[in-house]
A and B are shown apart, each in its own frame.
Chain A
Amino acid sequence: MTTVVRDGRLQDDAFVDASGQDTLPAAGPVIVSLAQWQAGRDGLLARGTPLGIRLQSDQSPALVAGDLGHFAVVALEFPKYRDGRAYTHARALKERLGYAGEIRAIGDVLQEQLHFMQRCGFNAFEISGPDPERAWATVAGDHTVWYQATGDGRARALDLRHPAGRR
């Protein structure tokens, strides 16, 4: 069983990532690849278990825009921490496509990126390294001021400067 950090705490994860596998587990929540979803959509829905989809960094969530209601998890992959496309994908999911489920960061997820990820809409993290909870705790207080607004509702510095002009 894998573990995921949510709300700063390490939690067991009920999902099995079957995205790289030829056959899916017979029962239980699974995460599938875009190709698996496109090839076996009806069968997956017939399982009656929670579903997740794993998207690579060159796979836009817009490709599954009409299906997002079926997914409890959208896992966005960071093949390398340097690949920043998933930040844009996460914002698109949350702010544009109306997705309200779990957006999970997977792959090369380092503690230094957690703030950026959170602000873009990620709310679950498979953090690299031996002690993900400690990694989270280490960076938790790093940033209290931001110059940008995203869909997370945090006020920008300029909103705090001009309370009357706030959204």
Chain B
Amino acid sequence: MYRYDEFDHTLVAERIATFRRQVGRRLSGDLTEDQFKPLRLKNGLYLQLHAYMLRVNIPYGCLSTRQLRKFADIARRYDRGFGHFTTRQNIQYNWISLAETPDILAELASVEVNTMQSSGNCVRNITADQFAGRARDEVEDPRPWCELIRQWSILHPEFSYLPRKFKIAVSGAPVDRAAVKFHDVGLYLRRNAAGEVGFEVIVGGGQGRLPYVGLTIRDWLAKDDLLSYLEAILRIYNLGGRRDNPQKARIKVQVNALGIDEFRRLVDEEWAQIKASPLLAVPAAEIDRISAYFAPPAWEQITDEAGLLVRQDAASAAFAAWRRANVVAHRQPGYAIVNLSLKATSMAPGDLTADQMDAVADLADRYTLGELRVTHRQNLVFTDVRQKDLLAVWEALDKLDLATPNIGTITDIVACPGLDFCALANARAIPVAQQIGRHFQSAAALQDVGELSINISGCMNACGHHHVGNIGILGVEKNGQEFYQLTLGGSSGADASLGDRLGKGIPAAEVPPAIEAIVGTYKQLRNPGERFLDTYRRIGLEPFREAVYGPDAGRRREVA
């Protein structure tokens, strides 16, 4: 993975020194909270319901065991012994003291991690497919390009005060594991007709109050043109994005107001002026330097262990269920990709204790090559496990409660922190996720239902990405009570779609029975082997609405 050189180290150290001074000015009263807010946000520090929250970047989801141990260390020394992995490949600490924050940033910098631009109206953490460099279906590894974009975006002199936040995701594979179409800019590495690898560029996707599936602004962009094209998009957005209303300030609103063709025309006009600029040219030597950090590791020359795994499956149904749900094919023979489920019912989705972090780091050092990944569905990944070690890895993960065989299933729930932590939330998200988790606990039930994503957001800001859950759950508040609105049919994949609203909100206690009714309807009406999403797309909302609200649901809805 990427390592800082002297320039990266200096840049981060200078940034921390500046922030230390700013924190000092805030603590002495020299800065008001209003003046301090944008400064702290640019360093990932939020003020939440109970305390400061610190959001730490895990660029494009890549993490070393050394870094994970540092996360554990910080959780113990500066927080309450745990951290929360988010949908944007960040880790968040929820109980941070302002005065200690500069020290935490210095600790993070010692392992080449930073919090720069993890918040604020600027380009945020660059995210990517968690299987980058290991997936069998990959056109090319997206990570070198992510790193190039990361550097271009950090402390950009012109684009540090954008109308609103700006999120970029990159996928190197046609199967989209990075929700590319729900980012301000999304990039797919693609081959053109001549066989050259470049980027399909998507713009204007997003969730929140105004969800949009991103649109293709350019079918194919040469790699050499990446920075100039991004700069053109950012410039058009910086000048033309709305600044009168934060709810309407994202690029998706600008793209929608202008229409994609007019937006494309503006970008192309701007791009024509800077395409050949030496200010944006990247020498091949720099691409080579960055790419070298992502070269395939020293895999052993071994072969697949089909026979052994079949025997191990036969000996343990639990191992077999875990392998089926949580283990993914690796591009290198004899190896496997292992998902660690952070969705046991014992914990909040995406949470990991400091002890678990240390134990996971030990396992990664023992059974993989010392690296792991963070996924946008709030799980972790071991990228390089020898197939012959899978049984031992499973046993160890099971002891840590990280082997729930539920990746991609109904209990692999994405949830925001919700009203338990967040100042913006209208309703709790974590307890709802845990209720559903307990309701569908058995491995047999999970296997029977198969691929089905549930996403829960505690408010319209949609941090739990409810719009793109196959089943989306949105918490709302009515007369001081929490209600939950369900949506069906969302997808964050290459076949991206927004969920359709099922009906009026229901109380928390009715959510698990409603999910059960939806799943029951699916099981009844599905064709053999058909995923929930495909069944829904075939039969539509009505059978599910009836199952949840009763046969006279249509009439009642009109009265309501």
Contacts and interface: CB of A to CB of B under 8 A. Distances in A.
B38 interface: yes
B273 A161 contact: no
B157 A115 contact: yes
Given A84-B238, A91-B158, A157 B7 contact: yes
24 contacts: A82-B38, A82-B121, A82-B161, A82-B243, A83-B161, A84-B160, A84-B163, A88-B158, A110-B35, A112-B39, A113-B161, A116-B160, A120-B157, A138-B21, A143-B11, A143-B18, A146-B11, A148-B279, A149-B278, A151-B279, A160-B7, A161-B285, A162-B289, A165-B283
Contacts of A162: 283, 285-286, 289
Contacts of A144: 10, 14
Nearest to A139: B18
Contacts of A60: 239
Interface string B277-292: 0111111111001000
Contacts of B156: 147-148
Contacts of B294: none
Interface of B: 5, 7-8, 10-11, 14, 17-18, 21-22, 35, 38-39, 121, 151-152, 154-163, 235, 238-239, 243, 273, 278-286, 289
Contacts of A138: 21
Give 4 nearest A-B pairs by CB, closest first. A84-B161, A165-B283, A119-B157, A157-B7
A85 B239 contact: yes
Contact of A147 (B11, B161, B281, B289): B11
B234 to A, nearest CB: 9
Interface of A: 60, 81-85, 87-88, 91, 96, 110, 112-113, 115-116, 119-120, 138-139, 142-151, 157-158, 160-162, 164-165, 167
Contacts, number: 108
Nearest to A112: B39
Interface centre among B5, B22, B155, B280 (most CB of A within 10 A): B155
A120 B156 CA distance: 10
B18 A142 contact: yes
A149 B155 contact: no
A160 B10 CA distance: 13
A150 B161 contact: no
Nearest to A152: B157
B373 to A, nearest CB: 24
A142 B121 CA distance: 21
Nearest to A158: B286
Interface centre among A60, A138, A161 (most CB of B within 10 A): A161
Given A87-B158, A142-B17, A158 B10 contact: no
Given A112-B39, A161-B5, A150 B157 contact: yes
A122 to B, nearest CB: 10
A145 B7 contact: yes
Interface centre among A91, A142, A147, A165 (most CB of B within 10 A): A147
A88 B157 contact: no
B37 to A, nearest CB: 10
A145 B35 CA distance: 25
A81 B38 contact: yes
Nearest to A89: B239
A142 B39 CA distance: 14
Nearest to A57: B243
Contact of B157 (A83, A145, A146, A158): A146
